[in-house]
Amino acid sequence: MPFSHHSHSGQFCMHAKGSLEEMVLAAIDRKMTVFALTEHMPRDDEDLYPEEKQAHASLASLTATYDAFYAEATRLRAAYAAQITLLIGFEGEWIRSPRSHALTTALLRNPRYALDLFVGSVHHVNGHPIDLDRATYARARASAGSGGAGTDADLAAAYLDAQRDMLRALRPPVVGHFDLVRLFSDAPDAPWRGRAAAVWARVRRNLELARAYGSVLEVNQAALRKGLREPYPRAEICSEFLAMGGRFTLSDDSHSTDQVGMNYPRVLAFIKKVGIKEVYFFERVDSKDSPPKMSSLSVEELEKHPSWSTYDSSEAEP
């Protein structure tokens, strides 16, 4: 696949592996034409990941880390400009409002950065991570119901409400892993349509919000490498967004060099099955104040891209 709009490196993300340059070289080896560098944004001390807490990180140290990331990403973009287009951005963290809004806006407005895009993501509900492990997912689920007795449907509804708030406040150009909340649910591959009316109504509401301001949904392969049968978002959500006139892009959400372009043959089969006819990719912005720029490829053009020659038959297996 010729592009990805979501990646992390061990150099600037403690739960990833490999240097940023190694990630770029892996994308070049995959014959990608566009690869977005989107490390996690700095977060408050109370919202650190476990490995960051162990390392005694802080908002100040994460801010310094992002500064270092931006400098290195800029260097790599120039060094490999003849081989690949590197986009520089970040993955957002909508944890609590209005603080999440303030932190994200400050990053976007920072005069030191000229960012090409950012990925709007939700990883927490009521301050609890939902994709870290089953134990923290269970705490998040309990917090979503009255008396600490929340269900998967309760948590999905709360997650989608947080996502709505993020979409309204930030209008991210890329919506990250739209249905991440299903990862540790009791039935992660079961459809939402027809099961919980309150959940599906929220899905449609958020899709309409994203479509209305022109965002794209990433088809994110991380769900496949984590054992789910379909990428994020699952087929029923893609079909709904497609019917609304929504647009899609592609992301590997890589956290190591071996995950760059991982499962993309399966992703291609998925988007063809869903009926997606065109996929979008972002381009470099002209200046800090320029809006994100997008172009598109038909699926037929996508299939002819030389990046597919880097895969063997085993990588297309489920």
Out of 33-37, 90-94, 146-150, least confident range: 146-150
Distances (CA, A) of 86 to 81, 89, 204, 230, 234: 8, 10, 33, 27, 28
What is the rounded average pLDDT of the residues 201-205? 98
Domain region containing 51: 3-316
The count of C-alpha atoms lying within 13 angstroms of the C-alpha of 25, restricted to the half-sphere facing its C-beta, is 5
Q: What is the pLDDT of residue 253?
A: 98
d(C-alpha 87, C-alpha 248), whole Å:
17
CATH number for the domain harbouring residue 214: 3.20.20.140
Percent of the chain with pLDDT over 70: 98
Per-residue pLDDT reduced to its tens digit, 265-307:
999 999 999 999 999 999 987 777 777 789 999 999 999 999 9
Q: Which two tokens stand for residue 258?
A: 């071996």
Q: What is the pLDDT of residues 171-199, one digit of tens each?
A: 999 999 999 999 999 999 999 987 788 99
What is the average per-residue pLDDT within 222-227?
Answer: 98
**What is residue 194's predicted lDDT score, i.e. its pLDDT?**
79
Residues 6+ apart with CB under 8 A from 182: 156, 188, 189, 228, 234
Average pLDDT over residues 237-245: 98
Q: How many CB atoms lie within 10 A of CB 168?
A: 13
pLDDT value, residue 292: 77
pLDDT at 262 over 90: yes
Residue 248 CB-density burial (10 A; 0-12 exposed, 13-18 middle, 19+ buried): buried
- pLDDT tens, residue by residue, 128-145: 999 999 999 999 999 999
Average pLDDT for 69-94: 97
Exposure string for 50-75, b = 16+ CB within 10 A, e = fewer:
eebeeeebbeeebbebbeebbebbee
Q: Quick one: pLDDT at residue 318?
A: 64
Could you give the number of structural domains in the chain? 1
Predicted confidence at residue 285, as pLDDT, reads: 78
**pLDDT > 70? residue 26:** yes
With pLDDT > 90 as the criterion, what percentage of the chain qualifies?
A: 91
What pLDDT, on a 0 to 100 scale, did the predictor assign at position 290?
A: 73
Average predicted confidence (pLDDT) for the chain = 95
Query: Would you list the DSSP string of the chain?
Result: --EES-B--TTT-TTS-S-HHHHHHHHHHTT-SEEEE-PBPP--GGG--HHHHHTT--HHHHHHHHHHHHHHHHHHHHHTTTT-EEEEEEE----STTHHHHHHHHHHH-TT---SEEEE---EETTEESSS-HHHHHHHHHHTSGGG---HHHHHHHHHHHHHHHHHHH--SEE--TTGGGTTSSSTTS--TTT-HHHHHHHHHHHHHHHHHT-EEEEETHHHHTT-SS-BSPHHHHHHHHHTT-EEEEE--BSSGGGTTTTHHHHHHHHHHHT--EEEEEE--SSTTSPPEEEEEEHHHHHTSGGGGG--GGGG--
163 neighbors 94 (Cβ within 8 angstroms): yes
Whether 31 contacts 309, CB under 8 Å:
yes
Buried-state track 284-295, b at ≥16 Cβ within 10 A, e below 16:
bbeeeeeebeee
The mean pLDDT of 53-77, rounded to a whole number, is 98
